[in-house]
Amino acid sequence: MLGKLLKYEIKAMGRIMLPIYLVLIALSAVFALTMRLTIGKTAVGFLEKFAIVTLVLFVAAIIAACVMMLILVIQRFYKHLLGTEGYLMFSLPVSTGQLILSKLLTAVLWIVIGLIAGVLAGFAMVGILSSVPEFMKEVQNAWNSLFTQADLTRNLTLFVLVILAGVIASLCKVYASIAIGHQFGRNRALFAVFAYVAIGIAELIVAWVVSKIDASLGFRIFSGMSSSGLDLKNSLTAIGISAIQICIYSVITWLLLDRRLNLE
Amino acid sequence: MEWRFKEGIPIYQQIISELKLRLLNGTYPPGSRIPAVRELALEAGVNPNTMQRALLELERDDLLASVRTSGRFATEDEEKLSKLRRTLSESCIEEMTGRLRTLGLTDKEIMDAVNRYLTRGAGEAES
Amino acid sequence: MDTLLEARGLKKSYGNVAALKGIDLRLMSGRIVGLLGPNGSGKTTLIKIACRLLQPTEGQILIDGEAPGPVSKSKIAYLPDKDFLPDWMKTRQLLQFYEDFYADFDRNRALEMLSSLEIPENMTLRKMSKGTKEKMQLILTMSRRARIYLLDEPIAGVDPAARDYILRTIIGNYEENALVMISTHLIADVESVLDEAVFLKKGEIVLHKPTDQIREETGKSVDEYFREVFKC
């Protein structure tokens, strides 16, 4: 049943995200091609203007993708699970856990696809702008500047895991906030925002208390939450912290939706 | 919905009356197959259970006969049918007579009125 | 006959407002039951608790002997009183959705009904008129060969022709040994299809009887009797 839920959720989100991602990649390619045409030419007024416009559109598309993703994550949960469409979803012969998991996994999937699309767009630009050997060198440089340490694979894996854990934790936090807001008959949206802020404050307090007990761990909690240092110890701490967040927030979400659901 | 039901009388009884009428007026000629329960229920706009109850009652009175797997059939028993016709017409007459009596007509006047109506009715039908 | 829906001391409050004040109810298979009461009498609340969309404050409800959960949900075909389908989906996708999630969904039955209404397979829900959308929802619900059908206000706000269509669709398609519960405040329109009537007044059951018994005992139609019981 989870597979079927995922199928529909992926379709529902992809309907909106996929076109945005495609536009993103297309715009980056158009920009790079236009720039390439200007190389070695003197009268390039129009082309340059065109390139600038595409660049602006490209940046706008990136912002749109981020904003749309945020809106969709909230909407798919708030409106489509706890709104009128919830009548359909919660009458399906599936468990509450499966419903939550389908939302979470789909959001993660589309965020990852978005990141890949972003990287592809970047590659497309650099690749078209420079010649191929040059481009490969650029890629090499990018790797090297990102990962100065010797063990590239290990760092890359850590980097991806830190990001992934952070993304999942953030999503769980959003879901938990919405589920808490749902407990308040009126002004559910407002209380969801309150809940989100309150959770954020609670996180800070926990981090502060921990830093009082163990200064170095406290530092890592702060840094783990805000940035992703590639030091092994820091990364593992960050992943651990995300894991704890994921556990707490998903249990809250599940309990509230399974035991205290009140669709109106 | 097609069939009209009166208030305050159980619907299955009203269905029975309607079905009896149909057995006599040629809708369901003797020996013919009666539509399936659900089909009849849909036509009447009633619950299939109610229709079933009415049909069972008619079966009990031997006005319908149920043949396993092939459905229900209208009775071919002439005696049953003429008895039914008699019962129904008697209740019509009873109702009419009752009403006319409340209007103050004597039995003789009722007879005369019926005769007058029948002769006039026949005359109208001819012209 | 099996007991398919049983409520024991069921209570539900919204804050200080009591929507259900202790409901005891047993509904059997093979019956069409009218859940009758004016707006705000608790009809929708009762149905939503049976579907586990609401949690009772006290008491319990059993569906075919079990507390509501994924198993009971697979047995209930529920028609909510509002638009509940994703409006971007096409007819074809909706059929696929129901087929995917409900093992008892009868695609052919749905297709038959859709073709008689001439609803195109690639039409999105958003493009349908209000009436067509409502029929679409009904068709999907009634195309399930479910044990229990819970239909919340299926005929509210529709014209007489559509009402006839809806009632015919219900009595023409429900499974023979299923329990059908129709909630409505429009009694005159449904009373000829009901086996039993449950009168719900301010969160309490004031009457639960076979409809023919009501007619026989009171010499009135269920609708007339209802008006008398609920006189303001």
Asked if C84 contacts C27 with a C-beta cutoff of 8 angstroms, the reply is: no
For the residues of chain C, what is the DSSP string, one character each? --EEEEEEEEEEEETTEEEEEEEEEEEETT-EEEEE--TTSSHHHHHHHHTTSB--SEEEEEETTB-SSHHHHHHEEEE-SS--S-TT-BHHHHHHHHHHH-TTB-HHHHHHHHHHHT--TT-BGGGS-HHHHHHHHHHHHHTB--SEEEEESTTTT--HHHHHHHHHHHHHHS-TT-EEEEEES-HHHHGGG-SEEEEEETTEEEEEEEHHHHHHHHSS-HHHHHHHHT--
Cβ-count burial A155-180 (b if 16+ within 10 Å, e if not): beebeebbbbbbbbbbbbbbbbbbbb
**Whole-number pLDDT of residue C116:** 86
Residue B5 token pair: 């039901």
Give me the torsion for CA of A81, A82, A87, A92, rounded to 10°.
40
Query: Are residues A263 and A183 part of one domain?
Result: yes
Residue B114 token pair: 């019926």
Q: Per-residue confidence at A175, pLDDT binned at 50, 70, 90?
A: very high
* Residue A35 is assigned to a structural domain of this protein: yes
Assign residue B104 a region: left if phi > 0, alpha if psi is -120 to 50, beta otherwise? left
A62-70 mean pLDDT:
92
A88-112 mean pLDDT:
95
- Judge whether A233 is closer than 8 Å to chain C, CB to CB: no
C221 neighbourhood in chain B, CB within 8 Å: 7-8
Rounded to an integer, what distance in angstroms lies between the CA atom of residue B53 and that of residue B44? 14
Residue A48 above 80 pLDDT? no
CB contact under 8 A, C164 and B41: no
B38 neighbourhood in chain C, CB within 8 Å: 171-172
* Residue A4 is assigned to a structural domain of this protein: no
- Judge whether A137 is closer than 8 Å to chain C, CB to CB: no
Q: Is A148 helix (H, G, I), strand (E, B) or coil?
A: coil
Q: Could you tell me how far CA B88 lies from the centroid of its own chain?
A: 7
Query: Are residues A162 and A120 part of one domain?
Result: no
**Which residue in A has a C-alpha nearest to residue C89's C-alpha?**
A12
Inspect the structure and tell me whether chains A and C have 3 or more CB pairs less than 8 Å apart: yes
* Residue A139 is assigned to a structural domain of this protein: no
CATH 3.20.19.10 fits B11-76, yes or no: no
Query: Are residues A158 and A242 part of one domain?
Result: yes
pLDDT tens digits along C132-179: 898 899 999 999 999 999 999 998 878 888 888 888 889 888 888 899
Residue A149 above 60 pLDDT? no
Q: Per-residue confidence at A107, pLDDT binned at 50, 70, 90?
A: very high
Ranges of each domain in chain C:
3-229
Percent over 70 (pLDDT), chain A: 83
Count of Cβ atoms closer than 10 Å to residue A238 Cβ: 27
Closest CA to B74 of B22, B25, B34: B34
Residue A247 above 60 pLDDT? yes
Query: Are residues A153 and A72 part of one domain?
Result: no
Ranges of each domain in chain B:
11-76, 79-126
Asked if A31 contacts A120 with a C-beta cutoff of 8 angstroms, the reply is: no
Residue A229 above 90 pLDDT? no
CB contact under 8 A, A263 and C53: yes
How far lies C15's CA from each of A65, B94, C18, C193, in Å? 41, 62, 8, 37
**Whole-number pLDDT of residue A43:** 63
**Homologous superfamily, domain C3-229:** P-loop containing nucleotide triphosphate hydrolases (3.40.50.300)
A75-88 mean pLDDT:
91
Residue C120 above 90 pLDDT? no
Q: Could you tell me how far CA A156 lies from the centroid of its own chain?
A: 18
Give me the torsion for CA of C76, C80, C83, C85, rounded to 10°.
-10
**Whole-number pLDDT of residue B127:** 41
Which residue has 């804050």 as its token pair?
Answer: C15
pLDDT tens digits along A210-221: 878 876 666 655
* Residue A74 is assigned to a structural domain of this protein: yes
Query: Are residues A166 and A259 part of one domain?
Result: yes
pTM of the model: 0.86
Who wins on pLDDT, A142 or A116?
A116
Residue A255 token pair: 């309990």
**Whole-number pLDDT of residue A228:** 47
* Total count of domains within chain A: 2
Helix axes C222-229, C211-218, angle to 10 degrees: 80
Residue C35 above 50 pLDDT? yes
Q: Which residues, in sequence order, are CB contacts of A64 under 8 Å at separation 6+?
A: A20
pLDDT tens digits along C175-217: 888 999 999 999 988 988 999 999 999 999 999 999 989 988 9
A108-126 mean pLDDT:
87
Closest partner residue to C167 (CB to CB) among B5, B45, B50 is B45
Angle, vertex CA C224, rays to CA C23 and CA C172, nearest 5: 75
Rounded to an integer, what distance in angstroms lies between the CA atom of residue A73 and that of residue A16? 12
Query: Are residues A73 and A123 part of one domain?
Result: yes
Indicate the burial class of B68 (C-beta count within 10 angstroms; 0-12, 13-18, 19 or more).
exposed
For chain A, the residue count is 264
* Contact residues, A window 69-128, toward C, CB-based 8 Å cutoff: 80, 84-88, 90-95
Query: Are residues A219 and A185 part of one domain?
Result: yes
Residue C91 above 90 pLDDT? yes
**Whole-number pLDDT of residue C86:** 92
**Whole-number pLDDT of residue C205:** 95
The radius of gyration of chain B's CA atoms, rounded to the nearest angstrom, is 18
Average pLDDT, chain A: 84
Residue-number span of the structural domain to which A79 is assigned = 13-130
Per-residue pLDDT of chain B (127 residues; tens, 9 = 90+): 467 788 778 888 899 999 999 999 888 999 899 998 888 998 888 888 889 999 999 999 889 988 877 889 998 888 889 999 999 999 999 999 999 999 999 999 999 989 998 888 655 554 4
pLDDT tens digits along C44-90: 999 999 999 999 999 999 999 999 999 999 999 999 998 999 989 99
Percent over 90 (pLDDT), chain C: 68
For chain C, the residue count is 232
Q: In this structure, which amino acid lies at residue A169?
A: A
A37-41 mean pLDDT:
70
Interface A-C: count of C-beta contacts within 8 A: 61
Rounded to an integer, what distance in angstroms lies between the CA atom of residue A111 and that of residue A90? 25
